[in-house]
Amino acid sequence: MRLIRNIDTIYADIQTAKKGTIQYITNFFPVKDKLKLWIDQETFYSKGTGSSVFFLRKEANFFHLYFCSDVDLLSEALNNFSAEVKATLVVDLIGRQGEVNNLTSIFEKAKFSSYKLLLRMVRIDQKSENIVKKVTETEFTKDNDALIVHNILKTKFDSYAEQIPSLEEIQNASKYNNIITIKINNQMAGFLFFEMTGYTSVIRYWFVADKFRQHGIGSKLMNAYFSESKQAKRHLLWVISDNDTAVQKYHHYGFTDDNLIDHVMVKKGID
């Protein structure tokens, strides 16, 4: 594997993979700010050249896997690649059900196994008179909150399926007021972590501590989020498909399925 040291290398590899392909396929949609952070942290690698290139983002004990390839060349390239890489690999296969099913069979042949299925949900912009007012009990994360949020995400969320951000990413989100919190007696009762890109807002994490549930904390966070992101034309989120409680709550707040899925697959490494 090659450690990536500049962003230009990434885009050059992508363009090389695209060139001459009949049907280009990828699960990699780079965001420059995140790429820069991964490069600075020395956690981003590439492997392969030509019509199939793979990118790997290192976590504590596994790699997130991204691919850029011609669909007809992916199977052979993936088999060769996964046979060489001994670490645990986690891949997100994103698309409509039929598209993902085709990819799933390719990854199964390379000894990946199904892990989780995520659903994307969407809430289209509501009329302005229905937008809630600012919730006074909430506040944005401060400098010393980032480590608390990071520790909660690492212990309460699924690292394979839910793309846990680094401490630096959380600190950056705090600078842009992208994490709304509620504290009770100086304890983190809950938070909602979101991102804005143009007129689209994405909820990344919505959390309420066990001891503070059934006290309306989640509702206050969600209402505060809608107030803070009122310029958004649509709100998106991903939810694990078998988390019925979460799915019902999101339906309550006006989110509906938009038929896009994320099939998370894992190939366990060799110790």
Q: Are residues 221 and 138 in the same domain?
A: yes
Q: Are residues 112 and 169 in the same domain?
A: no
If one counts the domains in the chain, the total is 2
Q: Are residues 99 and 131 in the same domain?
A: no
Q: Are residues 26 and 110 in the same domain?
A: yes
Q: Which residues of 207-227 are buried (b: 16+ CB within 10 A; e: fewer)?
A: bbbeebeeeebbebbbbbbbe
Pairing of strands 200-208, 187-197: antiparallel
DSSP state of 268: P
Element (H, E) at 202: strand 200-208
Backbone torsions φ then ψ of 154, nearest 5 degrees: -70, -30
Token output for 121: 């949900």
Q: Would you state the pLDDT for residue 119?
A: 97
Q: Are residues 56 and 164 in the same domain?
A: no
Q: At what angle do helices 167-175 and 32-40 cross, to 10 degrees?
A: 140
Q: Pick the closest to residue 267 from 140, 36, 96, 106 (CA basis).
A: 106
Q: Are residues 180 and 103 in the same domain?
A: no
Single pTM value for the model: 0.91
Q: Pick the closest to residue 71 from 42, 50, 33, 102 (CA basis).
A: 102
Q: Are residues 48 and 130 in the same domain?
A: no
Q: Are residues 55 and 133 in the same domain?
A: no
Q: Would you state the pLDDT for residue 83?
A: 86
Q: Are residues 44 and 68 in the same domain?
A: yes
The answer to whether the beta carbons of residues 53 and 13 sit under 8 Å apart is yes
Write out the chain's pLDDT in tens, 271 residues.
Answer: 899 999 999 999 999 888 878 889 999 998 898 999 999 999 999 998 678 999 999 998 999 999 999 999 999 999 999 888 889 999 999 999 888 999 999 999 999 999 999 999 999 976 544 444 555 689 999 878 999 999 999 999 999 999 999 999 999 999 999 999 999 988 999 999 999 999 999 999 999 999 999 889 999 999 999 999 999 999 999 999 999 999 999 999 999 999 999 999 999 987 6
**Residues facing residue 57 across a β-bridge:** 44, 64
Q: Would you state the pLDDT for residue 165?
A: 94
- R_g over Cα of the chain: 20
Which domain range does residue 36 map to? 2-118+263-267
Residue 243 lies in a domain: no
CATH of the domain at 37: 3.40.630.30
Q: Pick the closest to residue 191 from 157, 230, 238, 240 (CA basis).
A: 157
Cα gap 206→244, rounded to integer Å: 15
